[in-house]
Chain A
Amino acid sequence: MIGSHTTIETYDVLSWRKEICARVGAGRRFAGLFATVDDPVVRLSALVTADCDIDVLDTTVPLEVSQYPSLASVLPSAAWYEREIHDTTGLVPVGHPRLDPLVLPLPGDARRPMPGSKTPAPSVDLDESTIPPRVLGHGIFTIPHGPVRSGVFESVEYLVETPGEDIPYVGIRVYAKHRGIEKRFEGLTTQEGVLLAERVEGVASVAHALAFSHAVEKLADITPPPRAQYWRVILAELERIANHLDVAMKCADAAGLAVAVARFGYHKENILRLVGAVTGSRFGRGIVVPGGLAREIAVEPGELATRLTEIIGHVRADVELLMSTSSFLDRLRTTGPLDPTLARVHGALGPVGRASGLDDDARWFRPYDGYAKLPPLPAPSSAVGDALARLQMRWAEIWNAAELIRRAADVLEEIRSEVLCTDVADCGGRAVGWAEAPQGEVLYAVECEDGRIRRCKPRSASFHNLVLFHDVFRGDIFTDFPFIEASFGLSIAGAAG
């Protein structure tokens, strides 16, 4: 069960770094890092797992000092977080292995957005010349993939620098679609904030709305009514099924299996229609709010379960076919292997981590809503770590999702109370909420004053996992790339912020 409040501890900079490393050394997972500008200081907050919880470890750096000893220099998984903080605040982590711009390439003298600061952020003009080219030696050629992609994709640029070696380096540039969305939370009410959370990573709207709402519910010290809790499970699991079917479709597309693409596209459409029938939105938007659910559900739980069972039956038949297509399996097997040690050290999230030997899953390790009351149903993890293992993980998660929905629907049939939402009083303070999105754990660190958001940091699994792209290219990059990208199943919106 989620604790009723978030533990926040404050350290001076040096002991802060030491404490984080000590906890990670003792088996905890480093889950994120963000900055809040609180003139005249910047507060750095690290998120670290605890027993059934996520703790916050704070330190402060005076703005006029504007530097601190890099955490990434001793904890590599902090590298992207420190680059992002540098982009948005100008703070310099001394000793960082490679402090290139990540989400916001700005000239050195530019005013930065300063998340948390009450001063409005001026519009930015990106300057790509601030990104140093990576030079590896003779024979390098770079092939830009983007940011405008061929096909219907989110915009992102992958710079493939292939020095004719076995292990090419893939540069990842997400800044073109950086929306500055976390700054947009500031000043909104929590009821507005949840709508924005749905748009941070639109394919995981429900998970983001849940993680945000969980943070606010902690601040307000309330628990949603049981009916809302079980419906939340159903909505989150439907979202998981849709996302995993999307991954299947894209893997099949990478292999040129047109019929399989059509089949999984068809199943995905049926799931989106089911979500639409239940909530009025094909992405389950506008329904999860702090306190519970915003509106009545349009479908009886029993009917929903019946309709889902039918769809899943068709999915199973097609999965059997796809997974007995040897040309397809050959393309995935050994492709894009994520080494289990690296996965653990980095704290790889979601199906990507679980296909490389990790078992963390917020639904069972830090359960929330109906998950806290249903018997745990974790998908068995695998230590193989290739694109095939990641796809197999998603099948297992689809079957489990369907089972969870059936169980939640059964419970719902027995719940007499009609109540769907608990009132949320104007609240203040800081809390961390989470949910297991299809991509992996989503965290929301929310700080409120009198019911308005002062600072909100969404941390998507896509942001945390995307950096692993650097380390999974082993074979022919051009043929493997689409399989690796598809099997990771990440969202650029969620990574670019």
Chain B
Amino acid sequence: MNDLYLIYKNMTRKPLRLFLTCFAIFIAFLIFSAVTTLKSALDSGVDLAADDRLVVVNSINFTQPLPIAYYQKVAAIEGVKEVTHLNWFGGFYQDAKNQIITMAVEPESYLRVYNEVVVIPEQKSAWLQTRQGILIGRKLAETQGWKIGDKIPLSSNIFSHKDGGHSWEFVVSGIFDGVDENYDTRYAVFHYKYFMETQTFGGDWIGWMTLVTQDPSINQQVADVIDATFANSQAETDTSTEKAFNKAFIEQIGNIGLIIFGVVFMAFFTILIVVGNTMALAVRERTGEIAVLKTLGFSAPRVFGMVLVESLLVALIGGFLGLAMGWLIIEGAKSSMAQFLPNLAMGGDIVAQAVLYMILLGLVTGLVPAYNALRLNIITAFNRS
């Protein structure tokens, strides 16, 4: 037997109370780890967007299509230097969990607008000439183990192939790099024409357009002209900078994030009070026993430490279980969120932060009862009981 055994016995003497306390802490850290991870994934998206590019989406919302005719109209607007159009494919490889960010694009204009995409000339021309060719990012190629010339079937979780099924056959024609380290190359692009000819959705339509203007200073003007051009038509547009677009998208979720953050804070605060009160109560019930320990010769600091370790243990047990559950949920959600949140992962910093909060929770809830045990006077304790 040692002090730890005593602590363990004290902790588990009321199993239901221990369970409820740990469960409350479990919930708090589950919410905390999941929300913090979500928030950091959201925040990391904004930085990648360029400032001088404009995005044109359907004003209803960005998932609604636009007519292909808009592409030529926008290209003709004064001040527009380069424009390209993109369609979300919603691809995955073999397993629906293995999401691949894939877009159908108009190849030549795509490479002109996204000039941070770097591809060597031979591969570029190979891609432009191959109808089923797909251009993949370096990081994606590495994680999937794909090489030039590989035939890869990608499935869509949105569209059907006209020959039946949801699978499209592609040939890797090129592997691109980012112009710098920060550019996220975990995605792939293929020919819009191939997509339109083979999907069953019908019609000539595009998901959205991205364009660069002659000069960033005229961005607002150009955006206004574009939206005015399509006002009162069958599909009105909403034009904003890529950064603002990402930000608006994120802020929708961001506000929810803020609300959840408030909830987490409230939960933490409530749990702090509940757990603190429970600990104080549990120790007060043991007043007589603590007095006996002290009489036998257990020093005041030692008794103080035992109470503090007990509350720390409770916080760590509940906290780590919550953290583990949060991690499982994030891992489970990763693939289905990949298209919106490519950076969704619980980082070491979040784990460290959670552990820090667990320790803080344990210390704060244990400090008062531990101090009471430290100061407990043997004689008055015995007189009381």
Answer whether A and B are interacting partners: no
